[in-house]
Amino acid sequence: MKVIYKITYPNGKIYIGKDLTNDINYFGSANSKLIEQDFTREQRRDFTIRKEILWESETATDKEVNRKEVELIKYYNSNNPSIGYNQWPKFKK
């Protein structure tokens, strides 16, 4: 099963990613340095994130999954630095 997921951080910002293996323990490859700038040391001591599956397919090709990921990044505006942590595709104001 291939999935597109949304991670929501305690500050409300999101990250959209894909997982071609549907690994329950995979939480994406968002830039850790970018995320840690938004949280104090104290906030990082008790940190809960939410992972939601937005889309899944048993038959989609990797190319189709890649297209769907970009579509959902744009839909949720998660590449807008004020909304999310996706750095690609580049956000256009």
Residue spans per domain, the chain: 2-76
**Model-level pTM?**
0.93
What whole-number distance in Å separates Cα of residue 7 and Cα of residue 10?
Answer: 10
Dmax (CA) for the chain in angstroms is 44
Q: Is the pLDDT of residue 88 over 80?
A: yes
Distance of CA 86 to the CA centre of its chain: 7
pLDDT in tens, 22-76: 999 999 999 999 999 999 999 999 999 999 999 999 999 999 999 999 999 999 9
Q: Is pLDDT of 4 > 80?
A: yes
Judge whether residue 10 has pLDDT over 90: yes
Give the amino acid at 89. P
